[in-house]
Amino acid sequence: MDVMPKWADVILIPLISILLAAILSAFLLLSMGQNPWDAIVMMVEGSFGSSYSWGYTLYYTTNFIFTGLAVSVAFHARLFNIGGEGQAVLGGLGVALACLYVPWPHWTVAVLGSATAAALFGAAWAFIPAILQAKRGSHIVITTIMFNFIAAGLLNYLLNGPIKVPGSMELATAKFPEPTHLPTFEELFSFGETSLFRAAPANVTFFIAIAACFAVWWLIWHTRLGYEIRSLGHSETAAKYAGISPTKIIMVAMLISGALAGMMAINNVQGEAERLVLDNVAGAGFIGIAVALMGRNHPFGILLAALLFGFLYQGGGEIALWMSIPSEMIEVIQALIILFTGALDQLVRMPLERLFLSLRRAKT
């Protein structure tokens, strides 16, 4: 009993949510004596105005695609994995170890190795919460969020001693060796005189993220495993009756989810920083939740939502650079958008559903 056409659910609701958040942000900017229109122009220019700004927007987008996909795969099994942050931290550790301690001959081989390491480490970090959920019923929300803190503590310990550069004041590993350098968009798309994406961090990982979107789409809707994951998500008892083992599906879904979150590290650790720093995930794991919710857990929706959040991140950074707004207010604006698109879905949905119902009644 769909009260609304599909397009309204997928496009109209998110658009109205963003509009509401934008209006509220505009009032906020006005109250600080800033011109909201200037801010919007600055955000759009700063994230889509040149190949350079596209390079940044797509870099952030790549991060959010991975974490968004991670949340969505678990969500299809009705598991709310909010440990993307911690799994991405561990993924970063995997990438760093693979890049620092294995002598790779060429980036094509290195990226396979580091992707495997990232996925393994991320999956391993999701393993314990998953097995606690599957065997003991410990709630996945609680355990995954606690594992975020453990991951932060673990990385902090490692960067303060074992893998830190001795004598350095920074909490960071050494720079990765040259052969692990992933080609950036600048190197890929600049020919002769024309230099595109100059110095922007977007790199070949973007295409891995697109491939991951296809892979997740194939997995969820075109494989037996995907069917089992979705059945478990819709009804555990029905899934059991059909001979699907909930324990196995919970484990598999969470491991895939953790692996995807971990693979974000190919982009930010190997592609951008080329060394492991303490705060490398910078909230992308949590943004992934909003991205998945907004993208309705469909890879294509996630791709679009990730692009939107990439725009917000890059645009927000531009505002911080060129307008005298305290950095806390930028966070408030980003939070407003997450609040409206993620948490206040019903606020827009209920009146819209009523509107469509009355329209339909008027027709019949």
Partner 1 sequence: MTLMQKFLGASAALALTAGTAAADPAILFDLGGKFDKSFNESAYNGAERWAAETGGSYAEVEIQSDAQREQAIRRFAESGANPIVMAGFSWATPLAEVAADYPDTKFAIIDMVVDAPNVRSVVFNEHEGSYLVGMMAAMASETGTVSFVGGMDIPLIRKFACGFAQGAAAVNPDITVIANMTGTTPAAWNDPVKGSELTLAQISQGSDVVFAAAGGTGVGVLQTAADEDILSIGVDANQNYLHPGEVLTSMLKRVDNAVYDAMTAGADLETGFNVMSVANRGVGFAMDANNEPIVSYDMLEAAYGAAADMASGELSVHDYTSDESCPALDF
Give me 274's structure tokens.
Answer: 């080329």
203 neighbors 272 (Cβ within 8 angstroms): yes
Contacting partner 1 (CB under 8 A), which of 320, 344, 347, 352? Answer: 320
Select the span of 96-104, 167-175, 222-230, 352-360 touching partner 1 (CB under 8 A).
167-175
Give me 349's structure tokens.
Answer: 């949905």
- In degrees and rounded to multiples of 5, residue 275 shows phi and psi of -165, 165
Nearer to partner 1, 102 or 282 (CB): 282
Nearest-angstrom CA–CA distance, 282 and 309 = 14
Nearest-angstrom CA–CA distance, 122 and 87 = 4
Which one, of 61, 355, 44, lies nearest residue 203 by Cα? 61
Is position 187 an interface residue for partner 1 (rule: CB under 8 A)? Answer: no
Question: What is the four-CA torsion angle of 44, 46, 48, 50, rounded to 10 degrees?
Answer: 140
Select the span of 49-57, 68-76, 101-109, 223-231 touching partner 1 (CB under 8 A).
49-57
Is position 160 an interface residue for partner 1 (rule: CB under 8 A)? Answer: yes
Contacting partner 1 (CB under 8 A), which of 169, 222, 359, 364? Answer: 169
Contacts of 154 (CB under 8 A, 6+ apart): 89, 90, 93
Alpha helices in the chain, H assignment, sequence order: 6-7, 13-31, 36-48, 51-76, 84-101, 107-131, 140-160, 185-189, 205-222, 224-234, 236-241, 246-265, 284-294, 299-322, 327-338, 345-363
Contacting partner 1 (CB under 8 A), which of 20, 25, 56, 303? Answer: 56
186 neighbors 200 (Cβ within 8 angstroms): yes
Per the DSSP assignment, residues forming a β-bridge with 194 are 191
- Which residue is listed with tokens 């990232």? 118
**Hey, how many other C-beta atoms are within 10 angstroms of the C-beta on 6?**
9
Is position 47 an interface residue for partner 1 (rule: CB under 8 A)? Answer: no
66-105 mask for partner 1 (x: CB under 8 A)? ----------------------------------------
- In the complex, the smallest distance separating the C-beta of residue 48 from partner 1, rounded to whole angstroms, is 11
Q: How many residues bind partner 1 (CB under 8 A)?
A: 37
Nearer to partner 1, 273 or 308 (CB): 273
179 neighbors 105 (Cβ within 8 angstroms): yes
Longest dimension (CA), the chain: 77
100-139 mask for partner 1 (x: CB under 8 A)? ----------------------------------------
Nearer to partner 1, 158 or 255 (CB): 158
Contacting partner 1 (CB under 8 A), which of 19, 23, 32, 37? Answer: 37
- In the complex, the smallest distance separating the C-beta of residue 344 from partner 1, rounded to whole angstroms, is 24
Select the span of 12-20, 99-107, 210-218, 327-335 touching partner 1 (CB under 8 A).
327-335
Is position 38 an interface residue for partner 1 (rule: CB under 8 A)? Answer: yes
Contacting partner 1 (CB under 8 A), which of 10, 13, 20, 42? Answer: 42
Contacts of 50 (CB under 8 A, 6+ apart): none
Is position 322 an interface residue for partner 1 (rule: CB under 8 A)? Answer: yes
Interface with partner 1 in residues 224-243 (CB under 8 A): none
Nearer to partner 1, 141 or 277 (CB): 277
Contacting partner 1 (CB under 8 A), which of 4, 141, 278, 344? Answer: 278
Nearer to partner 1, 195 or 346 (CB): 195
- In degrees and rounded to multiples of 5, residue 35 shows phi and psi of -90, 115
Contacting partner 1 (CB under 8 A), which of 272, 292, 304, 308? Answer: 272
- In the complex, the smallest distance separating the C-beta of residue 72 from partner 1, rounded to whole angstroms, is 24
CA separation, residue 223 to residues 4, 37, 159, 172, 227 (Å): 29, 48, 41, 41, 6
Interacting residues toward partner 1 by CB under 8 A: 37-38, 41-42, 45, 49, 52, 56, 156, 160, 167, 169-172, 199, 201, 268, 272-273, 275, 277-280, 282-283, 317-318, 320-322, 324, 326-327, 330-331
